[in-house]
Amino acid sequence: MNDNRDVLITEVALRDGSHAIGHQYTVDQVRDVARALSNAGVPYMEVAHGDGLGGSSQQYGLSLTEEMKLIEAAVSVCDKAKVAVLLIPGIGTMNELKQAASIGAKMARIATHVTEADVAPQHITLAKELGMETVGFLMMSHMAPVDKLVEQAKLMESYGADTVYVVDSAGAMLPNEVREKIRSLRQSLTINIGFHAHNNLSLAMANTFVAIEEGATRIDGSVRCLGAGAGNTQTEVLVAVLERLGLNSGVDLYKMMDLAESIVSPILKQPQEITRDSLVMGYAGVYSSFLLHAQRAAKHFNIDPRDILIELGKRKVVGGQEDMIIDVASEIANKKQSSLSV
287 is in an annotated binding site: yes
Q: What phi and psi, each to the nearest 5 degrees, are found at residue 126? A: -60, -45
Spatial distance between the Cα atoms of 61 and 29, rounded to a whole number of angstroms: 19
Q: Is the dihedral of CA 89, 42, 149, 282 positive or negative?
A: negative
Q: Taking the CA of residue 276 as centre, how many other CA atoms within 13 Å lie in the half-sphere pointing to its CB?
A: 7
Q: What are the C-alpha distances in Å from 184 to residues 49, 150, 159, 189, 197?
A: 32, 7, 19, 9, 18
Q: Which residues are catalytic?
A: 19
113 is in an annotated binding site: no
162 is in an annotated binding site: no
Q: What are the C-alpha distances in Å from 307 to residues 27, 235, 280, 295?
A: 37, 32, 9, 11
Spatial distance between the Cα atoms of 281 and 170, rounded to a whole number of angstroms: 6
220 is in an annotated binding site: no
* Contact between 249 and 7 (Cβ < 8 Å): yes
196 is in an annotated binding site: yes
49 is in an annotated binding site: no
Spatial distance between the Cα atoms of 52 and 231, rounded to a whole number of angstroms: 17
Spatial distance between the Cα atoms of 157 and 177, rounded to a whole number of angstroms: 22
Q: Give the helix/strand (H/E) hosting 340.
A: helix 323-341
Binding site as annotated, residues for Mn(2+): 16, 196, 198
Binding site as annotated, residues for substrate: 15-16, 169, 196, 287
